[in-house]
Structure 1
Amino acid sequence: MPSNVEIKAALRDLRYLTQRAKELSGTDGTVIRQQDTFFKVPAGRLKLRDFQDGTGQLIFYERPDTEGPKLSNYSITPTNDPQGLVKVLTDALGQVGQVKKERRLYMVGQTRVHVDSVEGLGDFMELEVVMKEHQSREEGVAIANQLMLELGVKEEDLIDGAYMDLLLKNQQNGHAP
């Protein structure tokens, strides 16, 4: 199963981080609009990512819900009928909820730097160090930590869990999404 080392952080300064990501990647990044629908499963997480253009991906992943760099194992398959698949999976499994976001993707070496504007939550940064077959978890963590420094991400800004978790927590606390 493919894996990556991930970190996620709330953004204090969207403009600064975006500028640093542009400098480090040498590009203006790629804008991707996504709607993720999460389904009830006994272990891990299952989501259907709809790219809002008639295509999508069904993604299963497992990772610990802890702050800082963490190893994530995942499986992905493409679909040309994301809305139909959402309906079938909702009927079969039930939904946990949905996350809508606009993502700007920058590639820095083997790392996907995501600058996300999440509906109902705000702005975040996510790093995904896409692990090569021969790399250890420790090597991935070292790459993530170095990139955090280069992007000016502070340890106190790191978050655990997924955007879906944050949205559910807000709903439980009486905050509208």
Structure 2
Amino acid sequence: MRNVEIKAKVKNIVILLQKAKEISQSSDILKQHDTFYNTTKGRLKLRRFTDSGNGELIFYDRPDTEGPKLSVFKKANVEDIDNLNQVLTEALGSKNEVKKVRHLFLAGQTRIHIDEVENLGNYMELEVCLKPEQTCEEGEKVAYEIMKQLGVQKEDLVSGAYADLLLK
């Protein structure tokens, strides 16, 4: 699975939420708790959906650059999340945890995340889910168009994962 992603610092969450609502077909609010593990390449995280008790194991690899970038990822649904966390922590070691409230909006092939990240602040992510025949460049065009609709400026863009930003 592939997508084109951007991450940006949010200046005014109320305005951004309203703009996202205007361009989306659906929305949801999710409480998430991510544990990141030590890896030799990419990132591996166990995501707990704190409202349901379920989760998913996600591996992804993408460059740590600002602006649109290609991300390749794999996901697996997880039910025995606490035991899996213990196994992964013992085998790999955990490096960080990220707790957030995610406002999820769906706009065409794009997932808009507006996140309230504990101990970090407000951020937004765009994930343009690429179709098999789409190029990265086509996904970048979609990302830039949605950035424009949301009023996200290039100077707002950040690189890295929330786990990395929390370590700084």
Which TM-score band applies after superposition, normalised by the shorter structure?
Answer: over 0.9
State the identity %: 53
Structure 2 partner of 1:34 = 32
Q: Distance in 2 between matches of 1:26 and 1:89?
A: 37
Amino acid at match of 1:142: K
The alpha carbon displacement at 1:70 in A equals 0.3
Query: The residue matched to 1:135 in structure 2 has which SS?
Result: coil
Q: Normalising by the residue count of structure 2, what TM-score does the alignment of the two structures yield? A: 0.98
Structure 1 partner of 2:86 = 87
Structure 2 partner of 1:46 = 44
Structure 1 partner of 2:113 = 114
Amino acid at match of 1:155: K
The alpha carbon displacement at 1:123 in A equals 0.5
Q: Distance in 2 between matches of 1:34 and 1:84?
A: 18
Tell me, yes or no, if structure 1 residue 104 matches structure 2 residue 103: yes
Cα root mean square deviation, aligned: 0.7
The alpha carbon displacement at 1:100 in A equals 0.3
The alpha carbon displacement at 1:149 in A equals 0.3
The alpha carbon displacement at 1:26 in A equals 4.1
Q: How does 1:1-177 map to 2 (within 5 A)?
A: 2-27=1-26, 29-52=27-50, 53-169=52-168
Amino acid at match of 2:12: D
Query: The residue matched to 2:163 in structure 1 has which SS?
Result: helix
Q: Distance in 2 between matches of 1:61 and 1:26?
A: 27
Amino acid at match of 2:114: V
Q: Which runs of 5+ in 2 are unaligned?
A: none
Amino acid at match of 2:16: L
Q: Which runs of 5+ in 1 are unaligned?
A: 170-177
Q: Distance in 2 between matches of 1:134 and 1:149?
A: 25
Amino acid at match of 1:134: E
Q: Normalising by the residue count of structure 1, what TM-score does the alignment of the two structures yield? A: 0.93
Q: Distance in 2 between matches of 1:25 and 1:90?
A: 38
